[in-house]
Every structure is written in C-alpha cells, then in structure tokens.
Structure 1
Amino acid sequence: MASWPDRVGGFFALDDDWVRPSGGVSRGDVVVTLTTVGLALLVLELMRGVGSLTAVDLPWWQQWALTTLPCLFLLGRRRWPLISVSLGSVVYWAIGTFEPLMANLLSTQIVYFLIVFAGVAWARSRRAMVAVYTVIIAAMFLWLVWGLATGQVMSDMVATADPDALVPATVAAPVMLSVINILYFGGAVIGGQVAWRGARQRADLEDQAVTIREQSDRLRDNAIIEERLRIARELHDVVAHHVSGIGVQAAAARRVLDTDPRATKGALSRIETGSRDAVSQMRGLLGTLRMGESPVGSAGPGHVPEPGLPDIAVLVSERAGGPLTVDHEVVEESAGDLGEVPGAVGHSLYRTTQEALTNAVRHSTARRARVIVRVGPGHAEIEVTDDGRPRTGTSGTGMGQLGIRERISSHGGAVEIGPRPLGGYRVRARIPLRSEEKA
C-alpha cells in the first residue's frame, strides 16, 4: 500500500515532466484583469457606502490602489505563474500588515484565491511549484502564529467575548482562523492541481488523436501501395499472357499463311480476340487506379468483372491452334462446388493458371499441358503440368512466380512450383475455403 508521501507526490505529479504551454499574456488575460479591477473597485465603493470601512483611516485613492494592486497579478498568472503567486503573496502580506481591513475585503480575498489557484494550475515544474507553495504556506502559518502571539488576531476577530460560550474566545479564534485558512489555501491548491490534471489529460488526448491520425495515414498509404502492387501483378499477368498468346498465334499464322488460309484466319481471329481481351482487362485495371477515393468495391463505367475459375476454360481455349496443346479438367466433389468458390480466391487461381501457361510457352519446350481444377467444400486447387524442359536463354526475372506465391499466400494457401521427377514442370496451388482448414 502506498505511503502518504507517495500519494501526495502522485497527486501533484512530481515525476511528470510535462510542461503546460502558456502562450504568453493574451488579450483574454488583459480583459480578465481589467474586469476584475472594475469589480473589485465596485465592491470597495459598495462597502464604503454601507459604512463597513469607516475604521480604515486612508484616503480613497490609497484604498483604490491597495484594491487594484493584487488584481494586476492576474495579468501574468499563466505566463509567470510562480512569480505571480510569490509577488502576490508578498503584496497580500504587506496589505494585511499595513491595513488588515483592506486585506480582508471580499474582492481581495477572491483575487488572491485566483492567484494561488493559477499558480498551481499553470506552473511549469511540479517540483518547483511544491517548493514555492511550501514556503508560502509556511510563511502564512508563521504570520498567523505571530498574530496570535501579539494578540492582533484576537483584537480583529473578537469584539465582545460571550462568557456562556462552550468554547472560550482564546480557543475559538485561532481554531476558526486555522480552519478558514486550511479551506482557503487547500481549496485553491487542490483546485489548481485538478485543473492542471485536466489540461494534462486533454494534451494526452490530443497527442493520441495525432498519433491515430498519423497511423491512419500510414495505413492508408500502405493500403494504396499494396493495391498498386496488386494491380502491377495483374498488369504483368495480363500483358505477359496475352502478348505471349498473340506471339504464338502470329507465328502459327505466318507458318500456314500460304498453305492454309482457313487456319491463318483462325489464328488472326484469336489474335484479335486476345488483343481486345487484353485491352479490356487493362482498361479495368487502369480504371481502378483512376477511382482515387471511390469506395472500395465500387464499379465505375467500363468496369470489367475479374475472371475466376469458370473462366479458365476460356483461357485454355485461347491456346487452341498454337504450339502448346492444353487439356482442361474440372473435378468437383459435389455438383455446384465450382460456383461456390469466392471471387477473390477464384481470381487468384485464374491468374496462377494464366501465369503457369504463359511460362510454359515462353520458357520451356513443352508441347502439351494439362490444367486440372479441383474444388471441394473445404478447398479450391489448380494444377498445371506440362511435358517440356527449360529452354536455354529464356530465363525470366522470377517476378511471375513471386506473384503466384504472394497471391496464394494472401489467402492462406500453399504453392508447389518446380520440375516433375519424370520430366516436365508442375505448378500446384491450393487455397483452403474453411477457417478450420486454414488453422
């Protein structure tokens, strides 16, 4: 359990290095000070009007000066809090010594309370504040003891003692004065510390808001970068696949141009279809880039749906007539499983198949390939195999295979890429569709 010194130190935040910003002397401080001076002088004149200051043997201008002087320390209460409360205490002590009735004015008491309050609330250093206030309170206590010892307090507080009172005047006067001072200074100090803690909490909330805003900006930037990388992979797959297919069909058309016009026409038709498909998909991807701040998933004009597992059949048919013969097979554990595959999963498997077929044409001697799509309630899988060997001088950058691994791993799937033991090459990607399989 924490000791009392620790509790007091914790309440006054002695280990906190936070410095409350002051902002200097503002126009508001000037307005507050002038308003307080006006109200204090009004209270002074009202008290003089009802005869409460007849015992004060001072001309009116000195009374005005003694009333105005404490109010002036409110002007620098935020800019120089400890200096203001120190000088204000000296002035208050001087007024109380010189003319006690002027120090006991309601307006003067309120002004000094505000000065003490502000010193705690705006002090830059908690330790310096505690040190200054310890000296001030000790000095005020010694002043009170001196007043009791000299009889000044008794003469000011006790007009006529009541002999039938339960508590004699010699006890009642110092007890009352002690309680009043404890409540007075205690209220000002505790209230000032509560105000300082409120400002500290507001500063923490502002810092947290700035941190959250910065983190949100970073997350947004990271999301934009990830989306651009995804689109870059899409463009790589689209361009590589269609340009490769167009090259293959153009080569086939050139070989049969003079001998088989019908085959040439078919090859040119497939070139036309492939080029249009490539342009259409590229427009969709570039349209995504142009959406800017459009909501995620919103479709703008000309938006092309992303291809999925059912579109692999079209992908295979585009290879017809080329040097690579592709067989396509779909294996479903239950009828309709293919249509239950989520669009994002199907799209990733489609792009994986596209990249695998493109690599088979560009980087191997394969003449035959096989694409098998396997779908069950808990998984979706594609397997692309061919019968070729690596073609010398055609090694790529590796970005295609890297893109395949990134696509599949983003869904918690697994990829196998490499040569087969009996010859040829295999690309196999499997994505779980159930949370328990992912675990």
Structure 2
Amino acid sequence: MEDHAEWSRPSPGRSGLRADIGLALVLAIASVTTALLYQRTGMYPGAAEPWVWAVGLGLTTLPLALRRLYPVPVAIVVSIGFFVCGQFGVPEVLIINIALFCALYTVGAWERRRALALWARLGIGVIMIVWLLITLMIASSSSEVFEGISRSGIFSAYATYAVLQIITNLLYFGGAYFFGERSWRAARTQALLEAQGRELELERQTSAEQAVALDRLSIARELHDVVAHHVSVMGIQAAAARRSIERDPARAVAALGVVEESAGTAVDELRRLVGTLRDPSTESSAPTTIGVAHLSALVNEAQSSGTPTTLIVAGEPRPIPMLVDVALYRVVQEALTNVRKHAGRGATAEVRLRFGAAAVEVEVTDDGVRQELSQQSRGSGLGLQGMRERIGAVGGTVHTGRRERGGFIVRACVPHTPSSSSPVAGSPAD
C-alpha cells in the first residue's frame, strides 16, 4: 500500500456537502418508491413491517449526506442498513446496492487515513461475503427457497446460481475498491501538479524579481562609477579654478577646460549607458572605451586633476574576458576617485597591472595622510561595495585597507579560467 501520509484530500466544502445531502434525499425517495414497486410484483411474500422498512432504507441512504466528511462511519452504518434490508425482508435490492457501492467508493476516495480505508473496506467486504455464503448454505437445505431448482450434484442449477452470486459480489466489492483508489490517486496527482505549478510560478516570479534586482544593482554600479568619477574630477578642478582665477587666470582656464572635458565624457558615458538599457543588443556592437587597455587614460586624467599618478604594467599582456576587463577598469577608476576625494593634497598614486600565470591583478596605492584616511573609512562604502560585487561576479577577490607605510591600497585579483576566451581589444597602453 503506497504511503499517502504526505497529502490529505481537502474537505468537500459547502457545495460538496449540499450535493451529498441532495444525493441522500434522492436515494431515500427512490428506495421507498422501488420498494413499493417490488412489493407490488409479489416477488417478496411476507415483507417486513413498515418500521423495518424505515430503519433499513433510512440507514442505507440518509447517512450518505455525510459520506465525504465521515467516510468510514457512514460506510459502516450503510452496511448495517443493507444487512437489515436483506435479512428482514425489505423488498428492495436496487437502490440499497447503489448506496452501499457509493459508501464503499467514498471510503477509498476520501478517507485521509489510508490504512483505515483499506481495513474498513476489506472488513465490510469479508463480512458481506460471509453473510452471503451463510445465506446460500441455509437456502441450499430449504426446499421453500427457489422451489423447483435442482440442488443435486456439484454442477446443479443451484450451485451455478451460488457461484454467480459469489462472482457478482466479488466484482461488486472489487469495483468499489478499484474506483475509490483511482479517484484518490487522481485527486492526489492533480493536487501535486497544482502544487508544482504554484511552485514554478513562485520560482518564475522570484527569478523575475531577482533579475530586476540584479539589473538595478548593475545600473547603480555603472551610474556610481561614471558619475562619481567625473563629478569628483569636476569638483576638484572647479575648486582649483576658483582659488587661482585672480592670481593665475591661465591655470584657472586650464582647470575649467578639464571640468568641461570631464562633463562631456560623463555625458557621453551616460548616453552610452542609457542606450544600452534601451536596446541591450547594441551593447556588444558598441565601441569599447573602457578596459585595462585604457588605464593610461585614467592615469592621465588623474594627473590632470592634480594627483600625480603612475602606471606600471608587469608581466606579459594577454587577452582577458570582457567582463573581467571592464570590472578591473572600474576598480581602478573608483580607487583613483577615492584618492582624489580622500587622500588629501599632495598625495600621489600608483596603479599596477600584473599579468600572472594564474591571475590578472590591479593594484592602486596612495600615500595620503593617516587622519584623512579615516574619513575614507567613514564614507558611504558604496564604491568599495561596488568593487567587491563586480570582482566577485567574475570570480575574483578585492582587498582594501591601510598600508603600513601610510596611505591606502586597493587590490583586485581575478584568476584565469580555461574558458576565458573573450578577448579585449589590445594591450594596456602607456
């Protein structure tokens, strides 16, 4: 017997209860009608008293109103009513057989305790078969029952009749068991399919929400990298222009030129980002302006903004995947932005790009003063968090912290993978 303990069929509800009450009333009325008709035929001489009719037919039909709420008790009561009708001469055989079949079917289809459902049907079936056998044995020795039918010999007419009765009852109880089990299994399968459908729908919604969240995170990182970098350059150069506009107009004009250039670059990158968001198919065809091959442009920009910066490339340059290329570029961009914002005046920076046998690494260091580094550590942290998310997404790690000799260090390392076959355009340019 298969274990169904993990699933329970839900209650029939009000509509199901109303349907069962209607079925019980229809069968009760039909049983009285057919009993009167059977009595009219004269096939049942010496019929039972009316109160026996009421008890037998009532017990057989009316409890079916609660058949799906209490399957086993209802089946037992209906069986008792069936026995009363058959044993005490109530002239009805059609409706009571239908009612008993319906009760046994309901046990198989609706009883949540499957072991109880099995033993209840088996017990009722065995008792009914034993009752039938006893009745046939008693009738075989009475000449008043089936008068004129031969009873001599193993293949007599009465023996044939008895065999037909046994086969009919076995098919009757077997059919009630089969269709009840089939209904239970079908309902269970449907419930499991519906549950799986709900789980799939929930997973689809969750996946969609996660995709939106990842898109929002990616957009936030891009906007932070683009805006923070260029705005910090513009802020520093605008301050320099304000301080030198009276005593050194030429220097102020140069600083304002850097502001103008940074503003134009920021607008171009924002347009590129917006264009990619509107039409993702253009992302792969758009010219690549970021990557480790363009670190020299970041270094030059840092130098023009007043932060002496050098670029050192170590190892043999090699193609790296596009996502790794962009992630490393963004790390350097954010690190140089932080140098300009937090390292203080007079600080210098150094950018190292290392191509190793097992990994590619970028490192940005500065020699900013110690007290100003503490301001960096108290910042919003979005830039450092964005670095870790970007590098983590391509399988790398990021280390940030104070240097023993003073200043701050940002190091990002991404291991090489056998599947790294997406090259970038060119090698780092000095």
User: Which TM-score tier does this pair reach, normalised by the shorter chain?
Assistant: 0.7 to 0.9
Q: 2:363 and 2:6 mapped to 1: Cα distance?
A: 63
Q: 1:429 and 1:17 mapped to 2: Cα distance?
A: 52
Letter in 2 for 1:160: I
Aligned residues of 2:397 and 2:413 also touching (Cα < 8 A) = yes
How many Å apart are 1:271 and its aligned residue? 1.5
- Label 1:38 to 1:318 Cα distance change in 2 as closer, same or farther (>3 A): farther
Q: 2:89 and 2:370 mapped to 1: Cα distance?
A: 109
User: What corresponds to 1:88 in structure 2?
Assistant: 78
Q: 1:283 and 1:52 mapped to 2: Cα distance?
A: 96
Relative to the length of structure 1, the TM-score reads: 0.71
Letter in 2 for 1:161: S
User: Paired residue for 1:121, among 103, 109, 115?
Assistant: 109
User: Paired residue for 1:190, among 157, 173, 178?
Assistant: 178
Q: Alpha carbon RMSD of aligned pairs, Å?
A: 4.7
Q: 2:61 and 2:67 mapped to 1: Cα distance?
A: 10
- Label 1:381 to 1:83 Cα distance change in 2 as closer, same or farther (>3 A): same
How many Å apart are 1:265 and its aligned residue? 2.1
User: What corresponds to 1:199 in structure 2?
Assistant: 187
Matches within 5 A, 1:39-438: 53-56=41-44, 74-99=64-89, 102-103=92-93, 105=94, 108-130=96-118, 132-133=120-121, 135-151=123-139, 160-161=149-150, 167-168=155-156, 172-278=160-266, 297=280, 307-328=290-311, 333=316, 337=319, 341-342=321-322, 344-365=323-344, 367-373=347-353, 380-386=360-366, 388-395=367-374, 396=376, 397=378, 399=381, 400-418=383-401, 425-435=408-418
How many Å apart are 1:53 and its aligned residue? 4.4
Q: 1:158 and 1:17 mapped to 2: Cα distance?
A: 54
Q: 2:263 and 2:85 mapped to 1: Cα distance?
A: 97
Q: Which runs of 5+ in 2 are unaligned?
A: 421-430
Deviates more, 1:373-382 or 1:127-136: 373-382
How many Å apart are 1:110 and its aligned residue? 3.9
How many Å apart are 1:324 and its aligned residue? 0.7
Relative to the length of structure 2, the TM-score reads: 0.73
Letter in 2 for 1:81: P
How many Å apart are 1:419 and its aligned residue? 5.6
Q: 2:358 and 2:146 mapped to 1: Cα distance?
A: 91
Aligned residues: 407
Q: Per-residue displacement from partner, 1:394-413 (whole Å, max 9, x unpaired)?
A: 42236233432332122111
Q: 1:69 and 1:422 mapped to 2: Cα distance?
A: 97
Q: Per-residue displacement from partner, 1:74-97 (whole Å, max 9, x unpaired)?
A: 544323423432332222222223
Q: 2:205 and 2:19 mapped to 1: Cα distance?
A: 36
Q: Which runs of 5+ in 1 are unaligned?
A: 1-9
- Label 1:44 to 1:235 Cα distance change in 2 as closer, same or farther (>3 A): same
How many Å apart are 1:121 and its aligned residue? 1.0
Q: 1:123 and 1:318 mapped to 2: Cα distance?
A: 78
